[in-house]
Amino acid sequence: MSSEQSFPLTLRVAGRRVVVVGGGHVATRRTLSLLDAGALVVVISPTVASSLASSIGRGDVTWIARTYRSGDLDGAWLVQTATADALVDERVAADAEASQIWCLKGGDPAGATAWAPAVARVDDVTVAVSGGGDAGRAAALRDAVATALQSGDLPLRHRTHRPDGFVALVGGGPGDPGLITTRGRRLLAEADVVVIDRLAPHGVLAELAPDVEVIDVGKMPDHHPIPQHEINAILIDRARQGKIVVRLKGGDPYVFGRGGEELIACRDAGIPVEVVPGVTSAIGVAAAAGIPVTHRGVARGFSVVTGHESLAALPHDRAHTIVMLMGVKRLAETAGELIAAGHDPETPSALVENGCSVDQRVTVGTLSTIADRAAAVGAKSPAITVIGDVVTLAPSWPPT
């Protein structure tokens, strides 16, 4: 099987008869991918593997439960033979040759007239890798290309045609570039413009091509250099220039991230817009500190709130976890307010600064001590506060 002698081709098998001779692992895998492509699959084999039997049971496949006979290929466009019996496979291949039907041959690529590549589908792209006679290597290469495509590691800019412009509101996760979704990475690789927040993962900027416009609208605490309506206007303006705009936000766009406002502004302006969820700090930073926001027998639910609002209405139950974003400076007032509202002053509490980064610091205490402990270590934003019995699961528990 030398690649110079082959002609790569993609077949439209939908609605066309394809015969699979054999009922084992190879036959099953081939049948399933042929079914995905819409082929009318006929399986010829005295017995079939259980996973193939379930497709047969659903009526997707015609099963002829006997050994192969001449004439079985009548009307077929393509045949796969994989019977584990070399003599049968030879006969199938010879009949296929005589009838001018392409033949895939399990375990004997040299005796085949067709070879199926290792395939992955990424959006509208089919990645097909074949050659070398080493199926494992082809599959590994296919995986590498598919992953690089999905993750945006391959250069994709200017290959996407979006003449009307486009805005993606991408959740960047809590700071570690490894915590962005592959969809987010992919869109970043396609972006002409990246509009970034202070808490978004700045590490990814280094990977952008030099001509990508980066606009930092980072808001400092108590200081809002670029008002929201101006951010909206930037997104709309760049999209109207036909550009692909990624609005890269910290955490999840919809968790205290004003993503909803940006979405509405884009929609009102008639700009196509997509939202890519992210790992919110409310859950991800707690997790990085070893705190699950729910835990069987310890916490049944959780609330995510900001430290800027009144918290009096929250459940008092220590089995209901409270995750507070922002409000490090007001921590003493907030804790006092919760205690006054009836929360147990002994409720385990943790402050996690710079979560998911090398500077992560966890300070633990109780509702009555956490503010003093945070002040004692000079705690600063960005930080989340977790209040509830789940805090006892953190490696840094108990307070020393």
Active site residue 317: no
| Residue 355 engages ligand SAH in binding (rule: CB under 6 A) | yes
Please choose, out of 101-109, 135-143, 200-208, 350-358, the segment that lies near ligand SAH by the rule CB under 6 A.
Answer: 350-358
Residue 325 binds ligand SAH, judged by CB under 6 A: yes
Contact 316, 337 (CB under 8 A): no
Closer residue to ligand SAH in complex, CB, 249/343: 249
Q: Which helix (H) or strand (E) holds 244?
A: strand 244-249
> What minimum distance in Å lies between the beta carbon of 172 and ligand SAH?
9
If binding is defined by CB under 6 A, does position 255 make contact with ligand SAH?
yes
Report the nearest approach of ligand SAH to the CB of residue 258 (Å): 8
User: Is residue 175 close enough to count as binding ligand SAH by CB under 6 A?
Assistant: yes
Residue selected from 251, 277, 348, 388 as contacting ligand SAH according to rule CB under 6 A = 251
Question: What is the amino acid identity at position 95?
Answer: D
| Other Cβ atoms within 10 Å of 363 Cβ, number | 22
- Name, in order, each residue with C-beta under 8 angstroms of 153's C-beta and a sequence gap of 6 or more: 147, 185, 189
Q: Is 172 in the site for ligand SAH (CB under 6 A)?
A: no
378-383: which pairs have CB atoms within 8 A and are 24 or more residues apart? 379/328, 379/331, 379/351, 379/353, 380/328, 380/353, 381/221, 381/326, 381/328, 381/329, 381/353, 382/199, 382/250, 382/281, 382/353, 382/354, 382/355, 383/328, 383/351, 383/352, 383/353, 383/354, 383/355
> Would you call 105 a catalytic residue per the annotation?
no
Q: Does 381 bind ligand SAH (CB under 6 A)?
A: yes
Given the residues 219, 237, 329, 344, select the one marked as catalytic: 219
**Which residue lies nearer to ligand SAH by CB, 157 or 202?**
202
Please state the φ and ψ torsions of residue 303, each to the nearest 5 degrees: -120, 140
* Comparison of 356 and 367: residue with beta carbon closer to ligand SAH: 356
Instruction: Report which residue's Cβ sits closest to ligand SAH.
Output: 251
Residue whose token pair is 């970034």: 196
Rule CB under 6 A: which residues touch ligand SAH?
A: 174-175, 199, 249-252, 255-257, 280-282, 285, 325-326, 352, 354-356, 381-384
